[in-house]
Homo-oligomer: A and B are copies of this chain.
Amino acid sequence: MQARLDQCQALVQTCFDAVLSPLGDTNVEAGMRYALQGGKRLRALLVVESAALHEIPSIQSVWSAAAIEAMHAYSLVHDDLPCMDDDDLRRGQPTVHKRWDEATAVLVGDALQSLSFELLSRPEVAESSQIRVDLLASLARASGAQGMVLGQAQDIAAETSEAPLDLMAITELQANKTGALIEWSACAGAILGQASPAPLRAYAKAIGLAFQIQDDVLDVIGDTDKTGKAVGKDQDAGKATFVSLLGLSGAQGRAAKLVDEACAALDPYGNRAEPLRDIARFVISRET
């Protein structure tokens, strides 16, 4: 799995290099390059593998993969801001507002969102402009006030609320906050292949939730050296998490069940979907 993620990383980097100015004259451009470094590229791999399932070569799907990684990177830069989650460390490095300043971090995030849509509007994404519009429209919805931003707002509301969230509320929050972009990534291959996204959507909903449960598990049993971010933070803040609500082994059991569901959702694709099933299993075995 790591080899595939590394390969994906190399591919999306070629896209970033093609569209970002090589010198990074301003702090904003330097900050964009910085924020785009070192992620797992899980969303990119979901795009590439779901596209491969529909016989779209990676040299094409990588442009959509780069677009979702830019969108994800923007969300992290803004989420780390002092007025949001106030994190100093991300992917093992100082966050953008620590490395530069808050204004630069706001602008870097803003520009990465623009970059995401710019990447997705390029001719390399798909010869058909209808397919590009479909991808653009669905990404705009997934990232906006009915998707990722809604989840971030729900997360912030939860932090200031008296009563901790229950399981249903936290599941909905995470379906928005991290689920929406993961779902877009898995469905992108179906859009590129002009196929029904239904099986991939069911798969993505399950792994999106499993991914977040594993994040909560790693916040308890993880290692800052490996996760590249502070651990124990949610627990210390008395925040409701899947672990606080289900217990550690309960959460791990739930995540494993979700991975089984995700794999089963791909039955219509048979053995050809094995790379996507590998990703599902990776989601709960990862240590970072």
A75 to B: closest C-beta gap in Å: 8
Residue of B nearest to A117 (CB): B140
- The segment out of A50-58, A147-155, A202-210, A213-221 that lies at the interface is A147-155
Question: How many protomers of this protein does the assembly include?
Answer: 2
The range of chain A's interface size is: 35 or more
B106-A145 in contact (CB<8A): no
B111-A110 in contact (CB<8A): no
A83-B106 in contact (CB<8A): yes
A104-B140 in contact (CB<8A): no
A110-B107 in contact (CB<8A): no
Contacts of A118 in B (CB 8 A): 137, 140-141, 144
User: Does A26 touch B at the CB level, under 8 Å?
Assistant: yes
For A152, give its contact among B78, B107, B115, B154 (CB under 8 Å): B107
User: Does A136 touch B at the CB level, under 8 Å?
Assistant: yes
User: Does A195 touch B at the CB level, under 8 Å?
Assistant: no
Take A103-B156, A114-B144 as given contacts and tell me if A121 and B136 are in contact as well, using a CB distance cutoff of 8 Å: yes
Contacts of A114 in B (CB 8 A): 113, 140-141, 143-145, 149
Instruction: Report Cα–Cα, A230/B226, bound state, in Å.
Output: 49
Interface residues of A (CB under 8 A from B): 20-21, 26-29, 32, 74, 78, 81, 83-84, 101-104, 106-107, 109-111, 113-115, 117-118, 121-122, 128-130, 132-133, 136-137, 139-141, 143-146, 149-150, 152-154, 156-157
By Cβ-Cβ distance, the 9 closest A-B pairs, closest first, are A114-B144, A118-B140, A83-B102, A121-B137, A111-B145, A117-B140, A129-B129, A111-B149, A129-B130
Please name 18 pairs of A and B residues whose Cβ atoms are closer than 8 Å in the assembled complex, sorted by A: A26-B150, A26-B154, A28-B153, A32-B145, A74-B110, A81-B106, A84-B106, A106-B106, A107-B152, A107-B153, A107-B156, A109-B110, A111-B145, A114-B144, A118-B137, A121-B140, A122-B137, A128-B129
